[in-house]
Amino acid sequence: DVKVTQSSRYLVKRTGEKVFLECVQDMDHENMFWYRQDPGLGLRLIYFSYDVKMKEKGDIPEGYSVSREKKERFSLILESASTNQTSMYLCASSRFAGGDTQYFGPGTRLTVL
Amino acid sequence: AQSVTQLDSHVSVSEGTPVLLRCNYSSSYSPSLFWYVQHPNKGLQLLLKYTSAATLVKGINGFEAEFKKSETSFHLTKPSAHMSDAAEYFCVVSGLYNQGGKLIFGQGTELSVKP
């Protein structure tokens, strides 16, 4: 089974702090994704990566950056956290592009005070 | 452009009765379509996937969905609801290939199951 793990289930940070969310997948997948989930809005894509050191902006990249130094690890960075970034963050991976099944981690619930 | 609309934000059924969660999609080509389920405080789990083979797709836990191109619909059904089916369900359509495997999510339908 594909396993996608995220470094924290719950995180509380203060406004202005730099925040790192880590995601690791164990199936040698090429593609990795970061989403945020908010009530009534479904999942919105922040960034994705289709190869090591490659990244593409999703629908809502403002205020975020990403890093993919190794194939199995994809990090989401909030350079200066703000209260409107309080949300559930979900990481996913897939083997192929073009609509392949994505496998999700359990999520990190981030609260910014 | 691809888009997906879940027609109900909340559905409530009694245990043992049928479940119908409605989804319409818009796509400029033949898409892949998915249903994912999210139980409270858990990540998303794939229920089923349509990829232009059989139009009736069977998934896990007794769920199935029918692809109807003429109606641009992909409704999720189950003959008999179980308490453990209470969760949030997402209908998803694949983005264009040059979007790097992007999936487009509906807003979600919360399913409640009453004893």
In a structure prediction context, what are the per-residue pLDDT tens digits for chain B, which is 115 residues long?
A: 778 999 999 999 999 999 999 999 987 777 889 999 999 878 899 999 998 778 899 999 999 999 998 999 999 999 999 999 999 999 998 866 555 567 889 999 999 999 9
Residues from chain B that touch A41, judged by Cβ atoms under 8 A, are 107
pLDDT at res. A22: 97
pLDDT at res. B54: 83
User: How far is the C-alpha of B12 from the C-alpha of A109, rounded, in Å?
Assistant: 27
How many distinct structural domains can be found in chain B? 1
- Which range of residues forms the domain containing residue B68? 1-36+64-91+103-115
How many distinct structural domains can be found in chain A? 1
User: How far is the C-alpha of B33 from the C-alpha of B38, rounded, in Å?
Assistant: 17
Give φ, ψ of B41 to 5 degrees. Answer: 60, 25
Question: In this structure, is residue A82 part of a structural domain?
Answer: yes
Q: Which of A4, A21, A43 to mutate to test the interface with B (most CBs of B within 10 A)?
A: A43
Q: Which of A30, A56, A101 to mutate to test the interface with B (most CBs of B within 10 A)?
A: A101
How are beta strands A108-112 and A10-13 bridged, if at all? Answer: parallel
CA distances from B18 to A76, A84, B13, B68 (A): 41, 39, 8, 20
Q: Pick out chain A residues at pLDDT < 50.
A: none
Question: In this structure, is residue B115 part of a structural domain?
Answer: yes
pLDDT at res. B96: 61
Residue A45 sits in a domain whose CATH number is 2.60.40.10
- Which range of residues forms the domain containing residue A52? 4-97
pLDDT at res. B20: 98
CA trace torsion A98, A101, A102, A105 (10° rounding): -170
